[in-house]
Structure 1
């Protein structure tokens, strides 16, 4: 009996006063498994998605998101969806997929965006000649303007009349880039000022989300500008060089990024407060790495991909309607037939009820409040790809099913983000530290040699504190010799 009591007292004492190793706490828990992607809801896009999945052996939602964004880019110049009692909404999709390194993101992006790349290549081939002609016109304009000033009679009115005869200054041709992968928001707006369609497509979105555009001082501006573009709002800017007012612009988003980058965005209060999160089709598929064994090509899948390329090429080549007295798109309205409108109303009411406190979408009210719009935009893209100009019940149901899938992913990723992006960084640091031969490490070594996301002194210190608080490391006395030099801030892995 005494042995039992002694053991119990020792257990309690260890729990209260034990070493950090005795009190190790898990850093983060994995998110819940993703729901199966509703492949049937892709309708006529499904064969192309399955063909790319077969060729790349990558997750379904990664491929589907890339294909939907690409099809949306091709469809947006031609149609806006007219939602009853809501109004006209552009067929712009903003897709953000969590995809780790080695997931063949670039392969998927290349296969999904073939029509856009071919259109860019055609524009690039034309651009050289257009720019050469512009330079000649520009030089001729400057020479004529100088001559007009010189030959005009004295007086302001005479000079003004002479300059009026010279004509309007020629404008440079629009850039051939349709989907820049590395762009600041200012750069994207500049592109859209010269052409009506330019979108951010990147298989390595860490360059954008972890770069200049999303630093603390720039993130709010970037988010609000992306929101305006998603809404189809005009570009209105006052600049020292003159005001810019451009209507009819269309800018989609198709980004793939690693989890730590996405979770920093998801856990960013500004992203939720500005409404940017509500506009994103988020997903985090299970990786296929380790299961991608060799497959021979299949003729049926090659035909599916060829058909997808043909249809998207046709949409890119089709001349869109242009605003009168402008250079922006003036898309045709895509309406709902009666059966689709009935389904739409039922979907809206069900979604609204699920936003109540304690209900399914209470934790993602931003996205939930826009689910009707997401469903309608997705249905519009599916309809356009199928050659329709009206949304029928089947197509709306498909859009609603896709929007519902992304709602489940919002809930799942929001739940993961509650853990905090710093805990994921702590896990990365711990794994890096455990791979080193020496269990001791200094703060300077961490921010000089550690994981890329922690290579800054303040960040490294914050993440190290998490490991120390949770019992994975313990501080060493100041002046401890590591690598032949005394270190002021150093720690050692607990056994």
Structure 2
């Protein structure tokens, strides 16, 4: 197989110089997109990947090494997933030229990248509770982070510092979308472990009080059993870590109560944000007051907050939250509602518990593992390393994300998040390795973590674009996506009046609908395809839909 000859036959026009380095190359210098064209050649020069219109084909001799083939395929597939999506066409009414709505396409959560244990549990929870799989995956990933963060750290491939496995997750879903039921399914083992700890604590506390009453002046009070906190103040969180377990979590399925509570009042918000950032970073927590001085080392905090879109929109626009960089540490997932399709069908077999049981077993194993305490009661943890090929995969993610946050880059407007995405991928990859009982982070785990990081990158980019958009442009994008996803790209005025999303405020009267549709047609987002008996427009389709 001659890679040069094969690439030139697929992309004719000029001579192409093949570089065997596993990177994706554009055949003739065009801007590459996920749905475009490109090629990559393995370092050995024996395996060729060709991307044509979004589909990738691999060419290699029969005697190629299977392990090398799989590794190359994972690198290429991940690199393709990291490419920007092509923008949908729109229309500028001043110069009459297509310009493109600047919205990243809504990404699909790569649940298979979570692996057999975590991904299997997420899929099973989604089926049992009848929720989108990304909501179940967020809950599973939050629990997995909490269980893994007290087992090991991960060594940074460049700085050689020890990084905690704590994740901060934010899930945005409508009220009634079964956030609580989903979180309850995922966190069953955590709650069981918490109850068992509390029973032990009660016994130890009673014994402590008895011995203290008998004159035991040098006794040390037993550690409190708190594992899950819902609405802490910063001081309350610090006290909980001082007196309780060194690894804790904030799991709150109504995060509006957290962000609207005492901790986030104007006089407390800045210090709460800084405190949470320090916990994410794994820093020592120091508080010095005349009557209260504490030092907390090696504490770990995982966070999963679930909230409604109207609250999330307010939070994402809050200048203090943006300036302090707290949301750069959150992995955000926006879940589309499937309300109206969650029917009970007794003819279908019940959803099995196999994957959920395996998840709970692994979480129990990790939570019951022994830990060594340091001089402040924190966890002294081993540090996991990346395998050599995993380091190469991580370097690729880091360099690509660094390049794209430069002025004019694809991720310029989400620079604070992009600057942390490589570290987020490190944490995710190590969590996957912990649940797969691996002694080191493999290239497979790193590449799957890269796919997950790419999902969060594109979600965050999409949210940032929505924040920058004009209201009319945002409503137009939301309507076009509803039309494409829910109505097959075409709808009548009756369907728009009855089924269009309420936030778009189209369900007023037929005249209002026609006026809005006229604006969209003039912008070349829609075209009119039908009229009623009086010649009035009554049906439209997406502009690029098949005629």
How high is the TM-score relative to the length of structure 1? Answer: 0.71
Measure, in 1, the Cα distance between the counterparts of 2:439 and 2:316: 35
Moved more, 184-193 or 336-345: 184-193
When Rg is computed on C-alpha atoms for both structures, the one with the higher figure is 1
Measure, in 2, the Cα distance between the counterparts of 1:242 and 1:140: 28
Partner of 1:132: 206
Instruction: Show structure 1 runs of 4+ deviating over 4 A.
Output: 295-300
Paired residue secondary structure (1:198)? strand
Q: 1:113 aligns with which of 167, 174, 187?
A: 187
Q: What per-residue deviation string (whole Å, max 9, x for no partner) do you get for residues 376-405 of structure 1?
A: 000011110111121011100111111111
Measure, in 1, the Cα distance between the counterparts of 2:318 and 2:212: 47
How big is the shift at 1:138? 3.0
Residue 122 (str. 1) matches residue 196 (str. 2)? yes
Partner of 1:184: 233
Q: Is the CA contact 1:34–1:285 (under 8 Å) kept in the aligned structure 2?
A: no
Unaligned runs of at least 5 residues, structure 1: 1-28, 145-166, 425-495
How well do the aligned residues superpose, as a CA RMSD in angstroms?
2.3
Measure, in 2, the Cα distance between the counterparts of 1:202 and 1:243: 29
Partner of 1:10: none
Q: Is the CA contact 2:154–2:163 (under 8 Å) kept in the aligned structure 1?
A: yes
* 1:60-209 equivalences in 2 (<5 Å): 60-86=133-159, 87-141=161-215, 168=218, 170-194=219-243, 195-209=245-259
Unaligned runs of at least 5 residues, structure 2: 1-100, 475-547
* 1:206-217 equivalences in 2 (<5 Å): 206-217=256-267
How big is the shift at 1:370? 0.5
Q: 1:50 aligns with which of 115, 119, 123?
A: 123
Q: 1:355 aligns with which of 405, 416, 419?
A: 405
Instruction: Work out which structure has the larger RCO, using CA pairs closer than 8 Å and 6 or more positions apart in sequence.
Output: 1
How big is the shift at 1:217? 1.8
Q: Is the CA contact 1:267–1:418 (under 8 Å) kept in the aligned structure 2?
A: no
Partner of 1:302: 353
Measure, in 1, the Cα distance between the counterparts of 2:443 and 2:349: 33
How big is the shift at 1:329? 0.7
Partner of 2:429: 379
Partner of 1:316: 367
How big is the shift at 1:419? 5.9
Paired residue secondary structure (2:267)? coil
How big is the shift at 1:171? 3.8
Partner of 1:493: none
Check 1:173–1:62 CA distance in 2 against 1; reply closer, same or farther (3 A cut).
same
Number of matched residues? Answer: 369
How high is the TM-score relative to the length of structure 2? Answer: 0.64
Partner of 1:274: 324
How big is the shift at 1:59? 1.6
Q: Is the CA contact 1:75–1:384 (under 8 Å) kept in the aligned structure 2?
A: yes
Q: Is the CA contact 1:198–1:250 (under 8 Å) kept in the aligned structure 2?
A: yes
